[in-house]
Amino acid sequence: MPQRENEVESMSSATADPRPRAVVSGGAVTVAGWRCRDCAHPMTHEVLRCPVCRGGTGAAAFSPQGEVFASTCLRIRVPGHEPPFAMAYLLLDDGPRVLVHTEGEQPLRVGSRAVITSITADGDLVAAGCEQEES
């Protein structure tokens, strides 16, 4: 349906930042989020009801360590980032999956361990691969 001349589409100008929030305290990083009080489903975004069981949710803090779910090197220009750069999805040990930047351009190996080490000035999470001991 075409809009009339004086009709303006209503959209909120204040959109919440979709990135996961991390807290650095005493050099330690934790990922802030929410967890269902009934089924313990972890989430990075605040919601009133759990998307799995519709139960209530409460604030939670998650470990910065996890397993690399997927990883890639981006070779396209993105505002605020100089290509090439690597990113990964990290499935936190006790929490949700989060998108992280990694150091350098080499993607992390899927299934390897990584830990969130810092936050950029823009608020992006940064992770590094964990050194695993050979058995």
Measure the CA–CA gap between 22 and 63, rounded to whole angstroms.
10
What are the residue ranges spanned by the domains of the chain?
A: 21-129
Read off the tokens for 134: 């050979």
pLDDT in tens, 24-67: 888 888 999 999 999 999 999 888 999 999 999 999 999 999 99
In whole angstroms, how far apart are CA 125 and each of 8, 47, 53?
37, 21, 29
CATH of domain 21-129: 2.40.50.840
Residue 129 has pLDDT above 80, yes or no: yes
Looking at the chain, the whole-number percentage of residues with pLDDT higher than 90 is 59
Residue 5 has pLDDT above 80, yes or no: no
What pLDDT does residue 1 have? 46
One-letter amino acid of 105: E
Band (12; pLDDT cuts 50, 70, 90): low
Read off the tokens for 12: 């909120």
Neighbours of 26 (CB within 10 A): 4
Band (87; pLDDT cuts 50, 70, 90): very high
Contact 59, 108 (CB under 8 A): no
Contact 100, 113 (CB under 8 A): no
Read off the tokens for 117: 């080490």
One-letter amino acid of 78: V
Whether the full predicted model's pTM is greater than 0.85, yes or no, is: no
Band (78; pLDDT cuts 50, 70, 90): confident
